[in-house]
Amino acid sequence: MKRLQEKNSWEGEKIKGSRFIVNLAPIFSEEEAKQFLDMVAQKYPSARHHCYAYRLSSGMFRSSDSGEPRGSAGPPILQRLEGAELVDSIVVVTRYFGGTKLGIGGLIRGYGGAAGYALKEAEKVDIVLGEVFELEFSYTQSPTVSSVVNKFSGVVKEEKYSDIILMKVFIEQENSKGFMSEIIEKSSNKVLIRKSE
């Protein structure tokens, strides 16, 4: 999976006088998607259509035809996002009507084509899915914990030291079950481990 690296905009060739302007951005919530959509609408106040699609790594997605005929704008944009295997990303395609109706097929090609081209040109970054685990253990268990964290390529996000050690560690999704099992086994169940909220 990938996500867009940064905000970007692109304008393609006119189709029968209609202008298609694409704005892209990385997002991490529905609220951020709404804020970006509002920003695009303010940037192009005289445009009648701000069609969009977004996908989040949580599995949530949404698209809108924004007044265009049903299925002619939002779904084609969403298909381009899916085809690019992008999540945590939004694409907004703004259309200025050029005086000639494009028909549903023309709209699908216009919106989908503009989104597809802009996504092809955009910078993307890989997303590593995983989980954060909270570990609580005594100092005597520290070598065991370090060994298992290293074995599973864990990334320590936070450590706190008092009479015990509290650690937050990121483990890639494919390694999370093995990591939990090995921590419990190697420490003889003396390390308290739980998934972080």
Question: pLDDT digits over 40-68, tens only?
Answer: 999 999 998 999 999 998 889 999 999 99
* Portions of the chain given CATH number 3.30.70.240: 130-195
b/e per residue, 84-111, with b = 16+ CB within 10 A? bebbbbbbbbbbeeeeeebeeeebbbbb
Q: What is the pTM of this model?
A: 0.69
Which numeric CATH code is attached to 2-126? 3.30.230.30
Q: Of the CATH numbers 3.30.70.240, 3.10.20.740, 3.30.565.10, 3.30.1360.30, which one belongs to the domain with range 130-195?
A: 3.30.70.240
Position 174 pLDDT exceeds 90: no
44, 21 Cβ separation under 8 angstroms: yes
Distance from C-alpha of 48 to C-alpha of 160, rounded to nearest angstrom: 54
Position 20 pLDDT exceeds 90: yes
* 3-class DSSP assignment, residue 1: coil
Which one-letter DSSP state was computed for residue 175?
G
